[in-house]
């Protein structure tokens, strides 16, 4: 199994942040009672959920990286194997 790349996750986070910012700008110039406003609000909410997921995955990767560098490599190896 291929290990996920922190670089790719970081790029995904950056792209989601850009999309979210663009959507928030578009929502500000849209009428508050329009269907488009509500659609944009839903999109912003979805971007937030994706960001939460990506951040949690990054933190998990960082956690396993720290465990892998610990004094107890046999436990780190077991944790790594359990993830696969």
pLDDT at 69 over 90: no
Q: Counting every residue, how long is the chain?
A: 84
Does the pLDDT at position 77 exceed 80? no
Show the tokens assigned to 9: 């996750």
Contacts of 19 (CB under 8 A, 6+ apart): 47
- CA–CA gap between residue 30 and residue 75 (Å, rounded): 54
Under a CB-based contact definition with an 8 Å cutoff, are residues 31 and 37 in contact? yes
pLDDT at 2 over 60: no
Tell me the two tokens of residue 74: 């046999």
Of the chain, the percentage scoring pLDDT greater than 90 comes to: 48
Residue found under tokens 């937030």: 48
pLDDT in tens, 34-65: 999 999 999 999 999 999 998 888 888 777 77
Average pLDDT, the chain: 82
């Amino acid at each position: 199994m291929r290990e996920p790349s922190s670089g790719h996750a970081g790029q995904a986070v950056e792209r989601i942040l850009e999309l979210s910012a663009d959507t928030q700008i578009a929502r500000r110039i849209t009428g508050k009672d329009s269907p488009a406003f509500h659609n944009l609000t839903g999109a912003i909410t979805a971007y937030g959920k994706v960001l939460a997921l990506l951040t949690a995955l990054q933190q998990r990767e960082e956690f396993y990286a720290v465990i892998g560098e610990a004094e107890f490599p046999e436990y780190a190896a077991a944790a790594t194997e359990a993830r696969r």
